[in-house]
Amino acid sequence: MFLPIGDQPNDPKHVPWMNYSIIAANVIIFAVTRLGSPDAKFGEILVTWGYTPSEPRFIEIFSSMFLHATWMHLIGNMWFLYIFGDNIESRLGPLGYLAAYLLVGVAATLIYGAFNQDTTLPVVGASGAISGVQGLYFIACPRHKVKLFIWFYFFITVVHVSARVIMGFWFILQDIVPVILNRGPVPGGGVAHLAHIGGFVAGLVLMLLLKPLVRRIEMAEAGELPHASRYAGGHASRYSHRRRRRDPYRPRE
């Protein structure tokens, strides 16, 4: 068994309250809709508020991102969001992170719908948006490591692997390969692999566009922009440059 259990480094001063809020919203919505409804009623909720490509509604693009079919579906998605979302929030800020999360989630849903326009089965889940967060992370955190828990019979260990290696391997094995191998009416055999692919690619493109802005924010925080040096009396730039080099959280160019 291979299971990611964390990543490093993380900003010790930043509390990712927006990431926690998104996780809490997903958990609360699932608890209210699943535990408060019989199976038949819960099924009706998924059909009504899930995104149906053959009969799309605007509100479903967003509502489907906060619905999950089972506890395992929810836990798996929220676990990956918990691991990777905090670093993106620290770079974009709470509101910027929320906007990026929704944007890549919308892109994932629309890309899935574009390839499945005749599908009457609604798609639900945050996995498209979370794949988008991983795409953002792939660009924004090139030197980060993922802590990988390995359990093989009596062999148990934790290793640190490049986040890009893990994400690339997972993306190819779990999404690209199933879509290629399954050539039925719904690519991927009914699982929304195309939403994962669409979200991941949307995250890559969005962070490439935002990277200059994120870089400027990091430089300002480190006191490397001219106005930051003047504000500190001209001494902040050299001191902050040394501090930034010692801080493994800030990516080096």
Ordered DSSP codes for 104-136: HHHHHHHHHHHH-TT--SPB--SHHHHHHHHHH
Residue 236 above 90 pLDDT?
no
CA dihedral 65, 68, 71, 75 (to 10 degrees): -20
pLDDT confidence band for 230 (50 / 70 / 90): very low
What's the token pair of residue 105? 């989630």
> What is the DSSP code (8-state) at residue 225?
S
| The pLDDT value given to residue 249 | 42
| Residue 11 or residue 71, greater confidence | 71
d(CA 162, CA 249): 15
- Residue 234, pLDDT above cutoff 80: no
- pTM score: 0.82
On the 0-12 / 13-18 / 19+ scale of CB atoms within 10 A, 32 is exposed
Do you find a cis peptide bond into 9, omega within 30 degrees of 0?
Answer: yes
Looking at residues 233-242, what average pLDDT do you find? 42
What would the mean pLDDT of 179-208 be, rounded to a whole number? 78
Domains along the chain?
2-210 (1.20.1540.10), 222-253 (no CATH)
Q: What is the mean pLDDT of residues 213-235?
A: 52
Is the predicted pLDDT of residue 186 greater than 70, yes or no?
no
Instruction: Identify the sign of the CA torsion 119, 122, 127, 131.
Output: positive
pLDDT tens column, 90-130: 999 999 999 999 999 999 999 999 988 888 889 999 999 99
Round to whole Å and give the CA distance between 124 and 142: 30
Structure token pair of residue 34? 């699943």
